[in-house]
Chains A and B, each alone.
Chain A
Amino acid sequence: MTDTTRGASTAERVIVVGAGHAGGTLAALLRQGGFGGLITVFGQEEHLPYHRPPLSKYFTDGQPVKWLRDPDFYAEQKISFLLGQKVVSLDRARKTVRTGLGDEHPYDHLVLATGATPRLLTLPGGDLNGVLTLRNLTDAQHLRSAITTDGALAIIGGGFVGLEVASAARNRGTEVIVLEREARILARVASEQLSTIMTSLHRDRGTQIRTNVQIAGLRGHNGSVVAVQLADGSEIACSSVLLGVGAIPRQELALEAGLLCDQGIIVDDAARTSDPAILAIGDVTRRPVPGTEGHRRLESIPSAVEQAQQAASTILGVPQVAPEVPWFWSDQFDLKLKIAGIVAPESQATLRGDPATGRFALFHHRDGVLSAVESSNSAAEFMAGRKYITHQTPIAPLRLADAATSLRDCVLV
């Protein structure tokens, strides 16, 4: 709390587009860092920022919305929210944004935190009632009522969000079938070993999983979906369909304004775009990741928070904190998964623990150095693994494989 007036003298103006996890966190961090200028956050949704992870995990159980901050917080911190207002264009030369209502707002620093939107499939029947996606609170409310009614839920796409919904629905006794185009679920986001373990877990709990499936369309009755039609001519009866085939970055504003984009707004490790007055954070970005080449989309809370910190440091003009090994979590049934790092090509996997007990960790390593750890109900393995990845600590895979050997005795230093 040293310089509490920074920004005040010049009334610096920060505009944040997107009142999600990244945008809400950034606004708070700016005040925390002593920013005294104006902070205005535009949000297309009618809501203040909330936690999205529970939407696929606990919301269908009837848990209330988990707000990112208490509603009074923002007023006390002098952070203005203009909710239900979509920003429709940027004028980089004049440094203004324009909203759907036609108002223009000037900025000194603009932060794009527009997140991502579910990928839609252009399928016959894709617009039938009962065909759902899951990104926001309204979606989750629809999903909640879909899951609590009779009839099967077909989930197209076996990614983390889809599998979390599958477990929440199975916990309620709903019939669930997961239809995956690839040869395995979690193909883009987890190792083959973890896919195998999660496939048998979900099957044991009564979820049907079909891989290598081509969807031909959706069949309706009286305007509501009643079946998924497969390319082989067969049909799967259902009363609702969740499309869980990934999310695409909402980069339209940036693209139209001529910022460098490549399936995501390209940013550096200080959250800067190709325009020095414009930063971008969260799911809308493609960002550098320590220990890997090029830029990636991370789509996780830890990444959104890290980038919010980067943007705050850039705006405040203070040094950046050291980059973090990427990580995220997922809860499915009684498994708390935590995954850190990015599995390096040609790496080997060492399993510690027993998947049948739900307690295990997969360590991915090459030449005795870890690149990733995928853990379940094994917080110590996760934390140790993340540390060893950060410091490139040499490890002894054979010792890691023996759950009786203490994690500290698995390092070679």
Chain B
Amino acid sequence: MPIITYILPDSTERRLEVPTGQTVMEGSVRNNLPGIIAECGGGCSCATCHVYVDAAWAHAFVEANDDEAALVEFADGACAESRLACQLVVTEAADGARVTVANN
């Protein structure tokens, strides 16, 4: 199972196994990690699952669609590495990826 490292708002790191086909958001919620709130349950509506994907791992996930890009553009602390974790579907290619959870 792919392993994703979450860097939490208090700077601690958590390495989690996330089954392929699940999202980075689901991995976090399933393990009750702080930071990713996911109010809309993955509907790309709420932006409470804002994370930063390390540039080296950007290609491990499909590109943001227009909806996601627009939501994230004005999220607090948005930058080039910003993504919505509910849109990051985990595949084998994501094994080892590092994501930093924004202070949602």
Contacts and interface: CB of A to CB of B under 8 A. Distances in A.
Contacts of A301: 39-40
Contacts of A33: 34
Interface in B3-40: 10, 12, 29-30, 32-34, 37, 39-40
A382 to B, nearest CB: 8
Dominant SS among interface residues on chain B: loop
B71 A379 contact: yes
Given A380-B70, A380-B73, A70 B30 contact: yes
Given A66-B41, A329-B40, A329-B45, A383 B75 contact: yes
A69 B29 contact: yes
Interface string B37-67: 1011101011110000000000000000001
B51 to A, nearest CB: 16
Interface residues of A, number: 28
Contacts of A69: 29-30
Given A69-B30, A301-B39, A383 B74 contact: yes
A338 B71 CA distance: 11
Interface string A374-386: 0000111011101
B74 A407 contact: yes
Contacts of A210: none
A126 interface: no
Contacts of A217: none
Contacts of A51: 41
Interface string A386-404: 1100000000000000000
A144 interface: no
A302 interface: yes
Interface string B62-104: 0000010011011110000000000000000000000000000
Contact of B70 (A32, A302, A305, A379): A379
Nearest to A68: B41
Nearest to A51: B41
B67 A379 contact: yes
A31 interface: yes
Nearest to B37: A305
A329 B46 CA distance: 8
A28 interface: yes
B74 A387 contact: yes
A383 B40 CA distance: 15
A1 B37 contact: no
A53 B39 CA distance: 11
A384 B32 contact: no
A32 B34 contact: yes
A77 interface: yes
Q: Could you say which of B12, B41, B48, B76 has the most chain A C-beta atoms within 10 Å of its C-beta?
A: B41
Given A70-B30, A77-B32, A383 B37 contact: no
B8 to A, nearest CB: 8
Contacts of B33: 32
Contacts of A380: 70-71, 73-74
Contacts of A338: 45
Nearest to A303: B39
A32 B40 CA distance: 19
B93 to A, nearest CB: 24
B46 A31 contact: no
A68 B32 CA distance: 12
B75 A302 contact: no
Interface in A47-101: 51, 53, 66, 68-70, 73, 77
A295 interface: no
Nearest to B67: A379
B95 to A, nearest CB: 22
B3 to A, nearest CB: 19
A329 B40 CA distance: 9
23 contacts: A1-B10, A1-B12, A28-B32, A31-B32, A32-B32, A32-B34, A51-B41, A53-B41, A66-B41, A69-B29, A69-B30, A301-B39, A302-B39, A305-B37, A305-B48, A329-B43, A379-B70, A380-B73, A380-B74, A382-B71, A383-B71, A383-B75, A387-B74
Interface of B: 10, 12, 29-30, 32-34, 37, 39-41, 43, 45-48, 67, 70-71, 73-76
Q: Which 3 A-B pairs have the closest CB atoms?
A: A383-B74, A379-B70, A380-B70
